[in-house]
């Protein structure tokens, strides 16, 4: 087993001084390399909070988050920024591309920040755009792309730094069915062929059907954690 994420006894309480909200309540979660796991649950159940804690965007009040055995809750703010940049890919509901940069520049930026040299960046960017099937759109700005295309660029950006895993918060929430399926096809392919580990939150039944593992949160607690039987995956495995 190769544990990538180990959230250990993690809790997050908001409004501790007034009316406390236990957004995450004593959660234990292990994610192994190569998983394609969905975090589901009603609105307000804590999905975004848990992803933010695992991604080091927020700190838990109690508990630890180990990424490849390193407890990221113990890192200083600067070290955490550097760690995130090198190890975790993020995909958000609202794409979050930088509007003045082209699609290629958006994907390349993270590699520039990492000091990766241009020739290496160029090869990686070409490869990523082939994988998201958008080699013809590299020089286009986000405003000229559809929502689905923007989200595919966001996936390429998340993968640019070869992260240990990708966290995606409601990645299909703003997409029509066709774009959502297309995005899922690409994510599934990246998972199967490149062994990219994905943990994504969703309300979207289309996404849940593609997951291999479904983790259900209710009121900040994991109430079920099951291996899914996905026909699409079975077919893709043949």
Ligand X SMILES: Nc1ncnc2c1ncn2[C@@H]1O[C@H](COP(=O)(O)OP(=O)(O)OP(=O)(O)O)[C@@H](O)[C@H]1O
- In angstroms, give the least distance from the CB of 207 to ligand X: 13
Pair 159, 197: CB distance under 8 Å = no
Cβ–Cβ < 8 Å for 143, 195:
no
Max Cα–Cα distance, the chain, nearest Å:
55
Query: Does 172 participate in binding ligand X (rule CB under 6 A)?
Result: no
**171 binds ligand X, rule: CB under 6 A:** no
**Using the rule CB under 6 A, which residue among 37, 48, 188, 199 binds ligand X?**
48
By the rule CB under 6 A, 119 interacts with ligand X:
no
3-state DSSP: the chain helix, strand, coil percent, rounded to 5? 40, 25, 35
Site for ligand X contains 173 (CB under 6 A): no
Specify the residue, 53 or 110, whose C-beta has the smaller distance to ligand X: 53
Q: Which of 152, 167, 151, 208 is nearest to 65 (CA)?
A: 167
Site for ligand X in 49-68 (CB under 6 A): 49
Least distance from ligand X to the Cβ atom of residue 15, Å? 6
Considering only residues 6 to 35 of the shown chain, the ones binding ligand X according to CB under 6 A are: 14-15, 21, 23
The site for ligand X, by CB under 6 A, has a size of 12
Q: How many beta carbons lie within 10 A of that of residue 150, not counting itself?
A: 21
Residue 7, classed as helix, strand or coil, is strand
Nearer Cβ to ligand X (39/134): 39
Nearest Cα to Cα of residue 95 among 28, 40, 145: 145
One of 44, 141, 174, 209 touching ligand X (CB under 6 A): 44
- CB 94 to ligand X: min, Å: 12
Nearer to ligand X, 149 or 202 (CB): 202
User: What is the spatial distance between Cα 166 and Cα 175, in angstroms, rounded to a whole number?
Assistant: 19
Angle between helices 118-131 and 103-113 (to 10 degrees): 130
Task: Single out the residue of 38, 41, 56, 191 in contact with ligand X (rule: CB under 6 A).
Answer: 41
Query: What residues make contact with ligand X under the rule CB under 6 A?
Result: 14-15, 21, 23, 41, 43-49
């Amino acid at each position: 087993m190769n544990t990538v994420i180990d959230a250990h006894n993690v809790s997050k309480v908001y409004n501790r001084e007034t009316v406390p909200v236990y957004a995450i309540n004593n959660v234990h979660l292990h994610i192994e390399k190569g998983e394609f796991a969905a975090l589901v649950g009603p609105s307000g159940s804590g999905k975004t909070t848990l992803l933010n804690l695992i991604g080091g965007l927020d700190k838990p009040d109690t508990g630890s988050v180990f990424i490849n055995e390193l407890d990221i809750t113990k890192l200083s703010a600067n070290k955490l920024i550097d760690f995130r940049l090198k190890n975790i890919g993020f995909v958000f509901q609202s794409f979050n591309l930088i509007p003045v940069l082209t699609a290629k520049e958006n994907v390349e930026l993270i590699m520039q920040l990492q000091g990766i040299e241009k020739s290496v960046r160029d090869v990686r960017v070409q490869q990523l755009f082939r994988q998201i099937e958008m080699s013809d759109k590299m020089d286009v700005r986000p405003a000229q792309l559809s929502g689905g295309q923007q989200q595919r660029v966001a996936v390429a950006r998340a993968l640019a730094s070869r992260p240990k895993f990708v966290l995606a918060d409601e990645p299909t929430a703003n997409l029509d069915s066709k774009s959502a399926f297309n995005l899922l096809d690409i994510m599934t392919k990246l998972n199967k062929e490149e062994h990219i580990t994905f943990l994504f939150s969703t309300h979207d039944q289309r996404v849940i059907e593609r997951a291999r593992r479904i983790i259900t949160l209710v009121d900040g607690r994991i109430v079920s954690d099951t291996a899914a039987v996905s026909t699409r995956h079975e077919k893709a495995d043949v």
